[in-house]
Amino acid sequence: MNTSGLFEIWVFLGRSPLLWLALTLLAYLGAVALYQRSGHKPFLIPVLTAVAFIIAVLMLTGTPYPTYFDGAKFVHFLIGPATVALAVPLFSQFQRLRRIWRPVLVALLVGSLTAMVSAVGIAWALGGTRETLLSLMPKSSTMPIAMAMAERWGGLPSLAAVAVAVTGVGGAIMARPLLNLAGIQDPAVRGFTVGITAHAIGTARALQVHETAGAFSALAMGLNGVATALLMPLVIWLCRGLGWL
């Protein structure tokens, strides 16, 4: 078959929504298989390798992202039900949560503030612009909240989205060795830490490791989204006082 014939076939398939949905699912299944065969190497977590594969395909074929999204948007639709389903493992930990709500609240406030202030401080030290600092500030919250807060305070929603994705992948990779190094073994503490720092991507990883860790990670992810929205004005005021903004 000649080259023009192959191109025509690709153009036809590229317009089919099922192509991109199937490619997304196959990429993730392949990434999971690779991750398991590697002995669970942290740099081969499925979300990282699957995303890298999809990006490579889009670049090689010259496919614009809106075309891909139109085909794979069913996966995006499932984010809502999947997030709600996280309440199921959390419900089983409800009695324990009632007993430890005070340290949970303290950890939430400290973790949320540290995530925002450290991001801005590092970016400021490296010469980041005001827009960059405001875009990176909500990086540890979920993507919809981060994008909305960045836009509200003068940042770039697109940069905030990238920062959220990088934070989630980085947190999922580094959380386990760092927590082991710190000697933290309690699944609830490990999960809550991951949820604050690495939001949904970290929560997905925590659920694969331990049900309790996944439950507390989901809790931390939800609470940190609210905390980021409420505390970001305070952090901006603090950073202005320090001369960072």
Residues 31-75: pLDDT tens digits? Answer: 889 888 888 777 788 888 888 898 898 888 888 878 887 777 777
Whether residue 203 contacts residue 88, with contact meaning beta carbons closer than 8 Å, is answered with no
Give the Cα separation of 129 and 131 in Å (integer): 5
Q: Low-confidence residues of the chain, pLDDT below 50?
A: 1, 5-6, 9-10
Instruction: Supply the DSSP string of 112-130, one letter for each residue.
Output: HHHHHHHHHHHHHHTT--H
Give the Cα separation of 4 and 164 in Å (integer): 40
Q: How many residues would you count in the chain?
A: 245
What does the mean pLDDT of the chain come to?
Answer: 83
* pLDDT score recorded for residue 92: 72
pTM over 0.85: no
CA distance readout (Å), 210 to 101, 214, 224: 21, 6, 21
The amino acid present at 151, given as its one-letter code, is: E
Give the Cα separation of 225 and 71 in Å (integer): 29
* pLDDT score recorded for residue 101: 85
Whether residue 119 contacts residue 103, with contact meaning beta carbons closer than 8 Å, is answered with no
* pLDDT score recorded for residue 79: 67
- φ, ψ dihedrals at 8, nearest 5°: -65, -40
- φ, ψ dihedrals at 243, nearest 5°: 80, 15
* pLDDT score recorded for residue 243: 86
CB atoms within 10 A of CB 192: 28
Residue that the structure tokens 């980085």 belong to: 170
Whether residue 142 contacts residue 200, with contact meaning beta carbons closer than 8 Å, is answered with yes
Whether residue 141 contacts residue 228, with contact meaning beta carbons closer than 8 Å, is answered with yes
Residues 75-90: pLDDT tens digits? Answer: 766 766 766 666 676 6
* pLDDT score recorded for residue 15: 58
CA 182 to chain centre: 23
* Residues ≥6 apart with Cβ < 8 Å to 77: none
